[in-house]
Amino acid sequence: MKHNREFWMRHVKAWRASGLTQRQYCRRHGLVKGTLAYWASKLNKSKATGSALVEVGKVPAQAEKQRSPIELMVQRRYLLRLWPGTERDHLRDVLSVLEPRS
């Protein structure tokens, strides 16, 4: 049976969160290890943006000195540093790219 991209996105995400090896995960879910490895690699390449850092918004220099940022880890892969004053809509946009819903 041929599965679509969304099917593999869900399984790759679940495998990464499971803490299992690809072999263990595939045995539990009746998947072919080579196919999971292919999709994990393919999805990593399609997410590559050339930079691991994304600037969400600027904060005036004076505010930076007075207040500390909040750090948010997303999917154990991305670290977002959010300064006071970061707009919610910008954060939502960034999170929608980093955590696409299936």
pLDDT band at 23 (very low <50, low <70, confident <90, very high): very high
How confident is the prediction for the chain on average, in pLDDT?
78
Q: What is the predicted pLDDT for the residue at 51? A: 45
Q: Tell me how far apart the alpha carbons of residues 89 and 87 are, in angstroms, rounded to a whole number.
A: 6
pTM of the model: 0.46
pLDDT tens digits for range 36-46: 888 888 887 76
Helix residue ranges per DSSP H, 1-102: 5-18, 22-29, 33-47, 61-66, 88-98
Contact (Cβ atoms closer than 8 angstroms) between residue 32 and residue 26:
yes
